[in-house]
Amino acid sequence: MIRSIARRILAPLQAPRRAREKLRGVRPDVLLPFDMFDEALTGAEARKASKLENIYHKGQHRAWNGKELLAQLLERHGGIQLSDERRAAVQGLFAVILWGELAAWKISADLALRLEPLEAKLAATSQAHDEARHFYVMHDYLVLLGELPRGLGPRTTRVLAGTLSANTLAKKLVGMQLMIEPMALALFQMIRESEIEPVLVDLLRYYERDEARHVALGVLHLPRLIQGMTSAEAAGLWAWEFGELWAQLEMMRELTPHFEVLGLDVRRVLELGRAKQIRANQMLIEEMGSPIPVFDAFIRFFDARCAWHWPDDPRADLRGRLQEALRAANQGIGVIPTHLSNVAT
């Protein structure tokens, strides 16, 4: 009995010692990558590394104070002016942005921990700092609208969970930088152009500037990860991306009622997001110096699916929708110019 009581008393005191003993058994180079500066870089690789490092320094230079900015915008525009119906739609739509920013914060923090070399780690660290600011500012804005959104629809949750739970760094970069970020930029642009609510419109200009810079991490570092893959690993990455693109379209169907209340054309949002995703992937291809085998097939397939669910003529019957979907599969739906052309500079 006495020994049992003594063990209970001493256990908390012994736990730190055991942890230290366990740590002593771990090789230092596993915890700290002492060889991270040993790799010799070619001229092209050095230029790419410099661009990645510059993302960090640009992020520091262009950082903005979210608390101060939101207060200034509220004063400038006399508060938030929205009808009850539109207020509910903005809450529903920007719940995706709120929880999406938290997801991006968690993903970029994970990338900052795990990515090597130094320049990619710096870029991911800068993004984590930006996403933290985006999250708390969107939280503060939505609180001003009323009740804070406590959850998301199942299809929208699926999109964010897909990248959060991705089992490789390449999937996390593809999911966040080449899929979620471009679609978020499309939504920001549509809201800004529609001038739905002045405080939100001005706020999103700052979000857009940051998010466009984030895409460069995926564009510049993904080639390094992809080029080291086996054929099976590459096939797994593209199959995963296909599933995530499918989930994105399901998410847009779930969000359609909010778009309609705000007078936004879902097809236009999708086309704009598609254009930004295409441009981001084109920049990735340029950095890799070789095509992505499945890229064109992905685009045509999802063009057809967009035409089927959101035809040019909303009154089109089954035959009309089928004809438009087949035409999109064969010809595409055109490309909208985007401002992503220089994010990696």
pLDDT for residue 10 is more than 50? no
Q: Residue 22: what residue type?
A: K
> DSSP label at 264?
-
Q: Residue 301: what residue type?
A: F
CATH fold, domain 44-293, is: Ribonucleotide Reductase, subunit A (1.10.620)
pLDDT for residue 335 is more than 60? no
170 vs 75, 103, 133, CA distance in Å?
43, 16, 25
Name the 3-class secondary structure at 206.
helix
pLDDT for residue 16 is more than 80? no
What is the pLDDT at residue 279?
77
| pTM listed for this prediction | 0.81
pLDDT for residue 309 is more than 90? no
Q: Alpha carbon 179 to chain centroid distance?
A: 6
CB 128 within 8 A of CB 140: no
Task: Please report which residue ranges of the chain form alpha helices under DSSP H.
Answer: 2-24, 28-31, 43-62, 66-77, 84-114, 118-145, 154-164, 169-173, 181-194, 198-226, 231-261, 266-288, 295-309, 318-331
Of 51, 47, 26, 29, nearest in space to 38 by CA: 29
The set of residues, in sequence order, having a beta carbon less than 8 Å from that of 340 and lying 6+ positions away, is 182, 185, 212, 215, 276, 279, 280, 283
Q: Note the pLDDT tens digit of each residue in 213-225.
A: 888 888 888 888 8
The set of residues, in sequence order, having a beta carbon less than 8 Å from that of 225 and lying 6+ positions away, is 168, 169, 170, 173
Q: Note the pLDDT tens digit of each residue in 72-130.
A: 999 999 999 899 999 999 999 999 999 999 999 999 999 999 998 899 999 999 999 99
What span, in angstroms and rounded, lies between the C-alpha atoms of 275 and 264? 17
301 vs 124, 249, 281, CA distance in Å?
32, 12, 16
> DSSP label at 209?
H
What is the pLDDT at residue 219?
84
Q: Alpha carbon 181 to chain centroid distance?
A: 4
Q: Note the pLDDT tens digit of each residue in 18-68.
A: 444 343 444 444 577 787 777 777 777 788 889 989 999 999 999 999 999
CB 281 within 8 A of CB 340: no
What span, in angstroms and rounded, lies between the C-alpha atoms of 221 and 50? 12
Q: Note the pLDDT tens digit of each residue in 207-253.
A: 999 988 888 888 888 888 888 788 888 889 888 988 998 899 899 99
Of 33, 62, 36, 32, nearest in space to 49 by CA: 36
Average pLDDT of the chain to the nearest whole number: 83
What is the pLDDT at residue 298?
75
pLDDT for residue 196 is more than 80? yes
Q: Note the pLDDT tens digit of each residue in 152-193.
A: 999 999 999 999 999 999 999 989 988 888 888 888 988 988
CB 153 within 8 A of CB 146: no
Give the count of alpha carbons within 13 A of 232, CB side only. Answer: 0
Range with lowest mean pLDDT among 122-131, 259-268, 289-298, 317-326: 289-298
- Token digits of residue 152: 């998301």
CB 194 within 8 A of CB 79: no
What is the pLDDT at residue 280?
75
DSSP letters along 96-161, please? HHHHHHHHHHHHHHHHHHH--SHHHHHHHHHHHHHHHHHHHHHHHHHHHHSSPP----HHHHHHHH
Name the 3-class secondary structure at 186.
helix
What is the pLDDT at residue 310?
78
What is the pLDDT at residue 276?
79
pLDDT for residue 132 is more than 50? yes
Region 129-139: mean pLDDT is 97
299 vs 73, 101, 278, 344, CA distance in Å?
39, 26, 8, 23
